[in-house]
Amino acid sequence: MKNISVIGAGTMGNGIAHVFAMHGFQVTLIDVSEAALEKAIGMINGNLDRMVKKESISEAQKAETLTNLKTSNSMATGVASADLVVEAATENVQLKLQIFADLDATTPERCILATNTSSISITKIAAATKRPDKVIGMHFMNPVPVMKLVEVIRGYATSDATTAAVMNLSRVLNKVPVEVNDYPGFVANRILMPMINEAVYTLYEGVGGVMEIDTVMKLGMAHPMGPLQLADFIGLDVCLSIMRVLHDGFGNPKYAPCPLLVNMVAAGKLGVKSGEGFYQYSAGSKELVVAPTFGK
């Protein structure tokens, strides 16, 4: 595999493009929004600078990574010679079904179609194509350049060859792939999201404030970050849509999203990406600027 197309240049897409380009692949990063593409290139530049400063890569490696990377706002041209597409567009079922139907029509027959979805059924996405054997979940973790895990999800029809290719490719990226099956939330979000949702319920019911809840989980459970801060990093809209997938997929009320989470998303408080969630952030940065607005 040589040519990789990444669809969606948001939080995850820019990290995925960064990692592939840094490992010598020719990457086309595609987004419908020019602003998202510009922001992504800025993020990748900044992250590469940080790596140079830490001496984990050289200036020459940074330059080579940037040479391996191009952007496009046209999906059809951006995927025409792809060996692998990693789709990292907004977490929305209808959108992903449309993207995969379009990819099936515009990519070479050999091309593997991977999705970075956090929770949507790989089998359902695969059914929008005529090559379900070549459709697979390639679930990177945030921030992609730092996190080691790739959760590799086999849909109902994903072939052994496709799975082996994606497991191997993940290793080439210096990641650790773990193969799992296709049920709502897979493994990572089946466990993580109900924990985050429960933290939001704990806040909603006034059991503790934002700082109290996050401090209990950081110091008591040795988590590097509290669940509410983690939710801000992931994006509250992403958390809500994953809870909805778990709720719909299992039909079990224990997965009902907390009304506070629903309200915050409706109010546009999406976490780091909107500048405010459970905490407030300076524009375009993960730095907290003020203490949380909720709490005792």
Nearest to ligand NAD by Cβ — which residue? 10
Interaxial angle between packed helices 11-22 and 34-53, expressed in degrees from 0 to 180 and rounded to the nearest 10: 50
- The span from the CA of 193 to the CA of 83, in Å, is 32
Active-site hit among 14, 139, 170, 197: 139
Query: Residue 139 catalytic?
Result: yes
Query: Residue 38 catalytic?
Result: no
Nearer to ligand NAD, 61 or 90 (CB): 90
**Token pair in block for residue 104:** 């099936």
Query: Shortest gap between Cβ of 126 and ligand NAD (angstroms)?
Result: 15
Query: Residue 241 catalytic?
Result: no
b/e map 257-291, b = 16+ CB within 10 Å: bbebbbebbeeebbbbbbbbbbbbbeeeeeeeeee
Active-site hit among 14, 189, 197, 241: 189
Query: Shortest gap between Cβ of 189 and ligand NAD (angstroms)?
Result: 8
**Where do contacts with ligand NAD occur on this chain (CB under 6 A)?**
7-13, 30-33, 36, 75, 88-91, 95, 99, 116-118, 139, 142, 234-235, 238
The whole-angstrom distance between residue 33's C-alpha and the CA centroid of its chain comes to 17
Query: Shortest gap between Cβ of 242 and ligand NAD (angstroms)?
Result: 7
- The span from the CA of 87 to the CA of 281, in Å, is 28
Could you tell me whether strands 26-30 and 3-7 are parallel, antiparallel, or unpaired per DSSP bridges?
Answer: parallel
H or E segment to which residue 3 belongs: strand 3-7
**Distance set, CA 115 to CA 60, 74, 81, 144, 189 (Å):** 31, 18, 18, 14, 15
Active-site hit among 47, 87, 119, 151: 151
Question: Which distant-in-sequence residues (6+ apart) come within 8 Å of 178 by Cβ?
Answer: 149, 150, 151, 152, 187
Query: Residue 198 catalytic?
Result: no
Active-site hit among 118, 121, 170, 197: 118
Query: Shortest gap between Cβ of 138 and ligand NAD (angstroms)?
Result: 10
- The span from the CA of 192 to the CA of 151, in Å, is 14
**Token pair in block for residue 175:** 């990641």
Query: Shortest gap between Cβ of 128 and ligand NAD (angstroms)?
Result: 13
Nearer to ligand NAD, 213 or 238 (CB): 238
Nearer to ligand NAD, 57 or 101 (CB): 101
Nearer to ligand NAD, 34 or 49 (CB): 34
- The span from the CA of 200 to the CA of 257, in Å, is 9
Query: Shortest gap between Cβ of 30 and ligand NAD (angstroms)?
Result: 6
The position carrying tokens 């191009």 is 70
Nearer to ligand NAD, 153 or 169 (CB): 153
Nearer to ligand NAD, 57 or 178 (CB): 178
Catalytic residues: 118, 139, 151, 189
